[in-house]
Structure 1
């Protein structure tokens, strides 16, 4: 009975040692013990059952064998000249048909080229064997200290972005699932870094979930009476403000999924509210009005709470000091600094070499700001020095030859994007710490068409650019780890 039970179910009785263990007769030792084949090797690959016990890959000089091999790779042929994306893996200009195995190896090499890995993640047995005994002894001693602290084992790098060449990779278009039928006038990332909105003259506001591969479209909102000139999230991420060349504007509540039409503003006769900026504290919207007026509207009540008056026409505004101050420029070529707590202008200065100011951008801390003009000149100022009377810019960027229509700084203020709508590929990325332009942007082998807007993700890892052809080009900036 015990033999039958042991054969069918294994040993059902506790293991006894000594003389009593002989009472279980005929019991197979294999039911009680087993051999751990992986004890002598971290990476063990077993051959088929005919060669049991042989471990492949334990020798430091031997190569690891693939677990599975596709036999069709040796027989299939692929024409890489027919598909535009595959032409980049050609080794010769007239090369067209290659074998499947060669195709796989070239794709792997292209992937490694676009996504370089760090040195510590590479499997290099020679480097491990060449390590001196003193280093290994020191490492063994450090193991004890690792478990005696609660600090992070991996410290994120906060190195500065280097000038010269910008490391980036082209991803699938952000709006590839639903391209626009008209020019893209606005692109912006949500504060979570995954949601992107696009708006244009086709009167459609689109939302996409950005992952760099599929970029799934979430929703499309059609605004029948307003071609969208500008649309953006409020910094707190709860609303979307959109406007066009109309007397009114729209507010979309993302929580309630409700679209409200606001305007015209009481006491004002503006024919267009197409240009505006939202304060970093999400409390105030500054619209550009007629005859140099700047209209301040409450984000909560959507009512006019104040007006500011410039001497010339108002062309661009930007907030500073967490929304407590406002910078503006326009037709008189001067830069105004406003205190929104007292609704007064506390400083006014001439932008050097500027006849008409067209664009403004400030860093999150507000210590540096950039001013663009209709001649294509961009001046970068130290704000403290500018307010102190030194009107000389720290650097003048002269790479654009037509009117500066748009400027945007990334989250850590190391990259300034400047663009003009009037010329193809008229976009430059400026390295702020060195005040130099990245030489490999725009890409030499690809046209950007007529760029109209751009935005960086909150973490700096993604950059989206909308053009007049209705496409939103998406790029990954390799220096930044998070979107």
Structure 2
């Protein structure tokens, strides 16, 4: 017991003694005046009770005697300390158990994983150069885990603690009233300056595809399908350092002019100038060969709907054929006056937007199987490229005159001569490809007629990034493609290489 507790107990005992003395004196005076009454009452009882015990029954009930009071106080103080210590220990153990239960436990652990260091695995080569920037004594497992987390985000359903931390309302009101400068929002993309890094070429392992015809990022893995006119399709892993080749597919006497992945990401369709095409299963590595109907001669230009059910194919004499992507049967043929230049599906897979080798753009309805709307592309004489943003808000069109128009997709369906929201004249030659990223914040546009002719535009400000591209030899760019979360930008050229850019604003693949 502490000194303060002993002092409090001594004070309590002194008060008890004073109270006891006062009560005895008072009772003695009362006993003398009523002595006769007390004697008569005591004679009738079999037992005699002393004055002290008769006078202090309540006192002993409340306080007890001196020794008992001290013992009770000591026991009470000790038990209270014991209870407090037990509560603290119990709370600490509950917190530890909660933390342990919320941690993911591996199915098994391999002791060799912790023993392997980075210096034993990462050896300098003539391609990578020295590894002075890496810690040689670091665990190789930690290195791989950090790279994987940086590339592939954790899904929301797998987060153990997904509580949203809300800002303090009082602090927010204070900042609004006293005139503090708010911090810039790091989630929005800057308008004039784009932070990016040029990485190793995506197909640096082989350069075997020939003139690049298509680039398809596999949505469920950090891999990319690259095809070219040499008849070779290759799957590369993306890490920005090695970009190793995972698998390649060779088709004899079959120059691949267009390749598309199905939305599931497990099957790819390859088209060419031949009257046949291939469907390849990426999981089982099996290919299936199909013959085109008589009215369809080639599969040079086609698109797959977001639902994966339809496949739109550009035919001859302004025909656009719609196939069933599962049974490979011809469903319907739409007719327009001029040949098809480019096409894309809406998000609900109910409409096909088709640009022609003229100034007219048509919107066909798959449910009604007829022309739903038609309009004139402003300033266009011969269309060449087109893309619709994922949010169905913006439609970008490119022409052979080097003009790129951006329309509000909802407004253009109300007029036959809509005015574009923005017109880009930065490229002086024919547009080969236009592409929105997944948030519609960036529009990429390229021209295959001039070396390194590519520009990126910011939205909604509709300004072109002044620092892109740098003076790098990227060749004549035919195809541009963003990764699913816009962390990477691939630029396919006619000179057999695919330039790879890392957009630092976007964290995940």
TM-score normalised by length of structure 1? 0.67
Tell whether the 8 Å contact from 1:409 to 1:417 is kept in structure 2 after alignment: yes
Q: Residue in 1 aligned with 2:447?
A: 420
**Aligned counterpart in structure 2 of residue 262 of structure 1, from 286, 290, 296:** 290
**Aligned counterpart in structure 2 of residue 459 of structure 1, from 482, 485, 491:** 485
Q: Residue in 2 aligned with 1:216?
A: 244
- Determine whether 1:290 maps to 2:316: yes
Tell whether the 8 Å contact from 2:209 to 2:226 is kept in structure 1 after alignment: no
**Aligned counterpart in structure 1 of residue 279 of structure 2, from 228, 248, 251:** 251
**Aligned counterpart in structure 2 of residue 235 of structure 1, from 250, 253, 263:** 263
Q: Residue in 1 aligned with 2:435?
A: 408
Q: Residue in 1 aligned with 2:174?
A: none
**Aligned counterpart in structure 2 of residue 335 of structure 1, from 353, 361, 365:** 361
1:248 to 1:159, Cα distance in 2 relative to 1, 3 A: same
- Determine whether 1:280 maps to 2:306: yes
Q: Deviations over 1:197-255 (max 9, x none)?
A: 11101110000111222212111111002111111211211210111122222111223
Partners in 2 of 1:223 and 1:150 — Cα distance? 48
**1:347-386 superposed matches below 5 A:** 347-386=373-412
Q: CA deviation at 1:452?
A: 1.4
The size of the alignment, in residue pairs, is: 339
Q: Deviations over 1:277-301 (max 9, x none)?
A: 1111111111100011101111111
Q: Deviations over 1:116-145 (max 9, x none)?
A: xxxxxxxxxxxxxxxxxxxxxxxxxxxxxx
Tell whether the 8 Å contact from 2:345 to 2:351 is kept in structure 1 after alignment: yes
Q: Deviations over 1:308-363 (max 9, x none)?
A: 11121111101113211110011231111111111111110100111111111001
- Determine whether 1:305 maps to 2:317: no
Q: Residue in 2 aligned with 1:42?
A: none
Q: Residue in 1 aligned with 2:70?
A: none
Q: Residue in 1 aligned with 2:163?
A: 151
Q: Secondary structure at the match of 1:291?
A: coil
- Flag the structure with larger Rg: 2
How large is the RMSD of aligned CA atoms in angstroms?
Answer: 2.3
Flag as ranges the 4+ runs of structure 1 deviating above 4 A: 83-86, 152-155
Q: Deviations over 1:148-190 (max 9, x none)?
A: x8615699x8822111111001122211111126211111100
Please state which structure has a larger fraction of its residues in helix.
2
Q: Secondary structure at the match of 1:311?
A: coil
Q: Secondary structure at the match of 1:385?
A: helix
Query: Which runs of 5 or more structure 2 residues have no equivalent in the other structure?
Result: 1-125, 135-160, 168-184
Query: Which runs of 5 or more structure 1 residues have no equivalent in the other structure?
Result: 1-82, 87-99, 106-148
Tell whether the 8 Å contact from 1:206 to 1:221 is kept in structure 2 after alignment: yes
- Determine whether 1:192 maps to 2:204: no
Partners in 1 of 2:503 and 2:334 — Cα distance? 39
Partners in 2 of 1:279 and 1:104 — Cα distance? 45
Partners in 1 of 2:166 and 2:128 — Cα distance? 37
